[in-house]
């Protein structure tokens, strides 16, 4: 199976979390290699979303510290984010590095309980998945393609995207291509839902075995 990585709550009431520097800190996020970014990613005006578009981030531009406002409810391994933004633990980083060493970015974030604390209580990381794969199998996927599947834009990506309709009957079915995925274990698909990181069954099984908290795995068929 192929999985997508989602976020689930581990507490009935999730502690508040605050970015040191506020919203201003997010306006500084920028790509490490802006000239290599695809056209769709370039068109997005929200700087924070750049963490989730499959391209490396200039490390000095990402927020450097967060305030986790609870000492009794410590942050889970997926502590904060919306799947584009992913603040993760060192345990998750170590697992990724076992499968794909040096492929993805982990930008350090110092974690504090209070704004006036002198020392952080832990270090977490912005996880930047740096692999983009056109990973759906067009013969078995039942989602219609919006555009010309056989034409490509100047950046090399296909002209169009999968037209996802959550209300469709029967439900649309994405089916992933093992030939397209190859030996990769973590990636974003620029044509399906780029906001989600997908992973191989081997990596998903390793996540479950490691009991990483705060992650939810959703499985999909593969051919």
- Record the pTM: 0.96
Total length of the chain: 223
> Nearest 10 degrees: CA dihedral of 200, 74, 48, 211?
0
Q: Give yes or no for a contact between 176 and 143, defined as CB atoms under 8 angstroms apart.
A: no
Q: How many whole angstroms separate alpha carbon 55 and alpha carbon 115?
A: 31
Alpha helices in 13-106, H assignment, sequence order? 22-26, 39-42, 90-99
Tens-level pLDDT at each residue, the chain (223 residues): 899 999 999 999 999 999 999 999 999 999 999 999 999 999 989 999 999 999 999 999 999 999 999 999 999 999 999 999 999 999 999 999 999 999 999 999 999 999 999 999 999 999 999 999 999 999 999 999 999 999 999 999 999 999 999 999 999 999 999 999 999 999 999 999 999 999 999 999 999 999 999 999 999 999 9
């Amino acid at each position: 199976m192929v999985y997508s990585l989602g976020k689930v709550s581990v507490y009935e009431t999730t502690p508040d979390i605050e970015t040191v520097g506020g919203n201003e800190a997010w306006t500084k996020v920028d790509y490490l290699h802006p000239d290599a970014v695809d056209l769709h990613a370039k068109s997005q005006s929200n700087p924070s979303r750049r963490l989730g578009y499959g391209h490396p981030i200039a490390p000095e531009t990402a927020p450097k510290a967060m305030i986790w406002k609870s000492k009794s409810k410590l942050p889970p391994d997926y502590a904060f984010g919306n799947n584009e933004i992913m603040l993760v633990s060192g345990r998750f980083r170590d697992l990724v590095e076992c499968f794909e060493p040096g492929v993805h970015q982990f930008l350090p974030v110092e974690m504090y309980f209070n704004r006036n604390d002198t020392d952080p209580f832990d270090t977490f990381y912005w996880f930047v998945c740096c692999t983009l794969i056109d990973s759906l199998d067009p013969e078995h996927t039942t989602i219609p393609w919006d555009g010309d599947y056989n034409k490509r834009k100047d950046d090399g990506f296909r002209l169009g995207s999968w037209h996802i309709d959550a209300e469709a009957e029967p439900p649309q079915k994405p089916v992933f291509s093992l030939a397209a995925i190859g030996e990769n274990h973590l990636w974003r698909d620029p044509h399906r839902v780029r906001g989600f990181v997908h992973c191989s069954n081997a990596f998903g099984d390793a996540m479950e075995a490691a009991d990483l908290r705060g992650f939810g795995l959703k499985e999909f068929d593969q051919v």
